[in-house]
Amino acid sequence: MVSILVPVYNTSKYLRQCVNSLTGQTYTDLQIVLIDDGSTDDSWELMQEMAQEDPRLEVYSQPNCGVAATRNHLLEKVRGEFVLFVDSDDWIELNTIEVLMQEQQREDFDIVGYQIYGSINNDENHYNQEQIIKLFLEHIAFNGSLCIKLIRSELLQGLFLDENVSYGEDALLVWQVLQRVRRVATLKKHYYHYRYNDDSLSHQHFNGRRCTAYTAWEQICRDTDDAWPQFSQLAHARFACEMAQILRDAVSAGYNDRARICILQEEIRRDGHLIGKTGISSFKMRAFAWVVSRNYWLATILHRYLHS
């Protein structure tokens, strides 16, 4: 059985398309769990209606407590041998689970990852633990999104998303799972359809919650220094790169919380030189990281000039 876990919050206009893509899967041994996180639209009513149409749907409602807590509550309800997260405003191809399970059973993989956008240019798609740790830290062909990974459920036992982290909490959980894996496969095609939704956290107007990614990547770097020292430079380069990307979005939104900004700037100044050394980002991003880590005001002026 595969347990598909869907956190729901104010997505009633997209929810039926999402759920239909799950109940219509060619692989049918499914547990489909939806938790409404205190929606203010009619998501909960729609969930109850759809649960009457397919006995594999389990629906629950709770007061609003955020996506991390909702995903933790979803994990508590898993009965399948494998877990797949899907966001309620997205949808997947109807053969997604069948393709993932066929790949999983080829060599009893712990995780089978796939893509959101396009395909990856990588001849190798089977990895041992050390190889997938490196690929995760590069964060390109295998990133921290929970929604594009079929995961053996026993690897998630005892693990929870950090509810104090609002951005990057899924990457931190994936990282913890990778400390337990043996073999991982990735598929070169995309089966997941991501909807750009202005109401989702990742596209809301920039606020301080985005800066909590610092906590996630600081932990990943500490773990790497301890357990994977051969990848320490790569981890710290990715840390600096992730913080530069957050400051890029902060500049674009006119965000000006100096205390939070200074923390991210300090990290980029400390490890930013490793971005170029490890080759994990473009020259444009390296240049922006250098500027924004030293002068946030100048980065704001440059952004306005380049986008005027």
- CATH label of the domain that carries residue 97: 3.90.550.10
Determine the Cα–Cα distance for residues 126 and 106; give it in Å rounded to an integer. 11
Last residue of a domain, one of 124, 158, 193: 193
Residues 31 and 100 in one domain: yes
Q: Does 107 map to a domain?
A: yes
Residues 248 and 280 in one domain: yes
- Count of structural domains within the chain: 2
- 283: how many CB neighbours lie within 10 A of its CB? 9
- DSSP label at residue 54: -
Q: Does 128 map to a domain?
A: yes
Residues 231 and 137 in one domain: no
Q: Does 199 map to a domain?
A: no
Find the domain containing 278 and state its range.
208-306
Residues 218 and 163 in one domain: no
**Whether the Cβ atoms of residue 99 and residue 191 lie closer than 8 Å to each other:** yes
Name every residue whose Cβ is closer than 8 Å to that of residue 3 and which is 6 or more positions away in sequence: 30, 31, 32, 33, 77, 78, 79, 80, 82, 83, 84, 153
Token digits for 17? 């398309």
Q: Does 202 map to a domain?
A: no
Last residue of a domain, one of 164, 193, 222: 193
Residues 105 and 25 in one domain: yes
Residues 162 and 212 in one domain: no
Determine the Cα–Cα distance for residues 23 and 2; give it in Å rounded to an integer. 12
**Whether the Cβ atoms of residue 7 and residue 36 lie closer than 8 Å to each other:** no
Residues 146 and 280 in one domain: no
pLDDT given for residue 44 in this prediction? 98
Residues 284 and 183 in one domain: no
Residues 101 and 247 in one domain: no
Name every residue whose Cβ is closer than 8 Å to that of residue 202 and which is 6 or more positions away in sequence: 167
**Whether the Cβ atoms of residue 166 and residue 66 lie closer than 8 Å to each other:** yes
Q: What is the DSSP string of 99-145?
A: HHHHHHHHHT-SEEEEESSS----S--EEEHHHHHHHHHHTSSS-S-
Name every residue whose Cβ is closer than 8 Å to that of residue 213 and which is 6 or more positions away in sequence: 165, 167, 168, 242, 243, 246
Per-residue pLDDT of the chain (308 residues; tens, 9 = 90+): 999 999 999 999 999 999 999 999 999 999 999 999 999 999 999 999 999 999 999 999 999 999 999 999 999 999 999 999 999 999 999 999 999 999 999 999 999 998 765 445 555 689 999 999 999 999 988 999 999 999 999 999 999 999 999 999 999 999 999 999 999 999 988 899 988 765 554 445 677 888 999 999 999 999 999 999 999 999 999 999 999 999 999 998 889 899 999 999 999 999 999 999 999 988 888 999 999 999 999 998 887 776 76
Residues 172 and 114 in one domain: yes
Residues 280 and 145 in one domain: no
Whole-model pTM: value is 0.92
Residues 128 and 154 in one domain: yes
